[in-house]
Amino acid sequence: MPVSSSAGTPTGTTTGTPPGPPAGTTAAALDGTTAPPAPAGGAARPGPAAGVLLVVGFVLLSLNTRVAFGQIGPLAPVAHFGSTAVTVLGLLPPLCMGVFAPLAPLVRRRLGEERGLLWASVVLVAGAVLRMLGMPGLYAGTVVVSLATAVINVLVPVFVRTRFSHRHVGTMMGVYALSMGVGSAIVAALVAPVAQASGGSWQLAIGIAVVPAVLAAAGIAPQARVHRPRPAPPTPAGTTVPRPHVARTGLAWSLTAFFGIQTLAFYTALAWLPSVLIASGTGRTAAGTCQAVLILGVAVGGFLAPVLAAPRADQRPHILGTVLVCAAGFTGLMLAPSGLPALWAAVLGIGLGAGQALPGVLYARRGTDHDHVAALSTMAQTCGYLIAATGPVLAAALHGATGSWTAPLAAVTAALLLGAVLSSRAGHDPR
């Protein structure tokens, strides 16, 4: 899989050869870094090991990105977390990721994508360890993990567009989403059995997340040695039209609507799916298994959506398809939650996974350059996560007011259908 020829070069390297082709062209071999300075008379091509390190590091980073957030749902019935604790722990990740997403452009300007991802991964390790230290540590560690994840979320689409060739952007965003889902599903399936086997110690079960966090930091560390020059200023002066602030564009708000409503649905399902199923008569263990099925479905949908959408000029059909699959999953949970719970969890997971992965393609396709991609990603995630943070809380409030999960599920479904209309601009470039 070739990578973009805009991949970094060691600082200070100069050659007598003409500049490389622009981002989006392909190299002859898979590679993500550049070789040491070549001897005079020619530039040496890097070996395949650099490309392997790039892909392995990216996969390890991706595997870890949502691990911590998938633990609470299946663990809550076993650890006897109260409704307030589950609500707050479901609220904190999207709320904090919305609040901290604006830090990502500052990190990018100061450190670049590669070193920014490394330091965010190190902070995530610290947060994963902190979550093991009792309930105060669980809350505080969730904030720290969310901060690190907010930075990673914004930097990844820019990193992928920069380090991989244009025709592989969709595939790599799919790999990102697939790996996120697989990592979360594995840990979600393990937390309840580990807690039960350890005599009800939820701290040990929460500590499982430390392992993928350490692997992610180690995997992305080699990329921190890659240095790329700062983007050149527009030239010649006066020939470019200033780009309006993203908050003044319909594109950015359309992206925000799609990402925000999809993420609201995602975190609502992640927080309350086991409770919905248990209330319908499903056993606790089976409900935890369905949570793992949901997350596995997220992995599948997250891989398929970018791969199918990225090669197309118009992603509106993919936006609509994503919404309809999500709506089908929520409708199944409303009408027959105890009949085929694993099926509804899988369908819902596929739709929610597509909704989490597709925005990365939309940022890359609609953005005119790396800075524009970062700006669109930052705004959509800042506002979108704040919208999403209301999901678990409103679902709990509606459940408390009605005594049933039908009203919360119907409300989320209605929001998704509204989002399909609001997101139309995000799916295409006006002619």
Q: Is the confidence at residue 31, as pLDDT, over 80?
A: no
What is the overall mean pLDDT for the chain?
79
Cβ-count burial of 240 within 10 angstroms (0-12 exposed, 13-18 middle, 19+ buried)?
exposed
Q: What is the pLDDT of residues 86-127, one digit of tens each?
A: 778 877 888 888 888 888 888 888 888 788 888 999 999 999
Which residue from 231, 102, 219 is spatially nearest to 162, judged by alpha carbons? 231
Q: What is the pLDDT of residues 269-286, one digit of tens each?
A: 987 888 888 888 888 778
Query: CA-CA distance, 76 to 57, in Å (whole number)?
Result: 32
Q: What is the pLDDT of residues 301-350, one digit of tens each?
A: 988 988 898 888 888 999 999 999 999 999 999 888 877 888 999 999 99
Between these two residues, 197 and 410, which has the higher pLDDT value?
410
**Cross-strand pairs, 25:** 23
Q: What is the pLDDT of residues 3-21, one digit of tens each?
A: 554 444 443 433 343 344 3
Number of H helices, E strands in the chain: 14, 0
What percent of the chain stands above pLDDT 90? 21
Which residue from 277, 32, 261, 279 is spatially nearest to 159, judged by alpha carbons? 32
